[in-house]
Copies of this chain bind each other. A is one copy, B any other.
């Protein structure tokens, strides 16, 4: 060590790892200032997660909305790369946490980021004046990418999770739990997308949950963070199911099928 680095102290080391999330002392675990024993048995998991991540407490209505988003995003089956990864990994002789990690790792910008991006989209619509600005904002996004995050689904003409989630948001608006601006923005985007098309392009699960995250005031990256928590449940369910199959080193198709070889014709 040379002078140019100053003279660090043990306090500097402790500060390097400073956190407001959790304090420990012998016999003490506090989350955001709340002793853990005041949470255990007294707080539901969703409200506890909100506290840990955000530092404050949700109202019951807010917690119900967040819970609905988390329940709605748990799984969409093995066609999703994350789930296929979880199942294959579970047969490779690694821990269930490792199989889950390999899968969570694939929830990237295109596989797990649509909700996060849709929160940004909705924020942009709201910032631009709300529903009347939807068409313009959509046009700007469309110029940058062929994918409008949160709208339309490769598989579902109408995502079965859209309506129940939006109904809950609408009810929460009526109850005063959330303001409804982002819901209005999202519906206006749907309208803008439907113009001149034979069929609507309804919100998908990422869009409907983005409405919730946005209404609850979560910054965009936390939309992905909470989606990861939710999808981790499906990942666990599939990893566990596959680990009961007795397969070893499961590949992506039955071993009797060999991959084609050579450049695409």
Contacts and interface: CB of A to CB of B under 8 A. Distances in A.
A43 B24 CA distance: 33
A21 interface: yes
Interface in A99-158: 100-113, 147, 154-158
Number of copies: 4
Contacts of A260: 11, 14-15, 17-19
Contact of A8 (B25, B225, B229, B254): B254
Interface string A65-85: 001101110111111111011
Contact of A48 (B1, B74, B112): B74
Nearest to A109: B93
A13 B228 contact: no
Interface in A217-251: 221-222, 224-226, 228-229, 232-234, 236-241, 243, 248-251
A264 interface: yes
A194 interface: no
A78 B72 CA distance: 31
A62 interface: no
Contacts of A176: none
Q: Which of A2, A18, A82 has the most CB of B within 10 A?
A: A18
A175 interface: no
A24 B76 contact: yes
Contacts of A75: 21-22, 31, 52
18 contacts: A1-B256, A10-B13, A15-B260, A17-B78, A18-B262, A24-B79, A36-B160, A45-B45, A79-B251, A79-B259, A89-B108, A93-B113, A94-B95, A94-B108, A95-B224, A101-B105, A102-B102, A253-B253
Interface of A: 1-2, 4-29, 31, 35-37, 39-41, 43-46, 48-49, 52-53, 64, 67-68, 70-72, 74-82, 84-85, 87-89, 91-98, 100-113, 147, 154-158, 160-161, 163-165, 167-168, 221-222, 224-226, 228-229, 232-234, 236-241, 243, 248-264
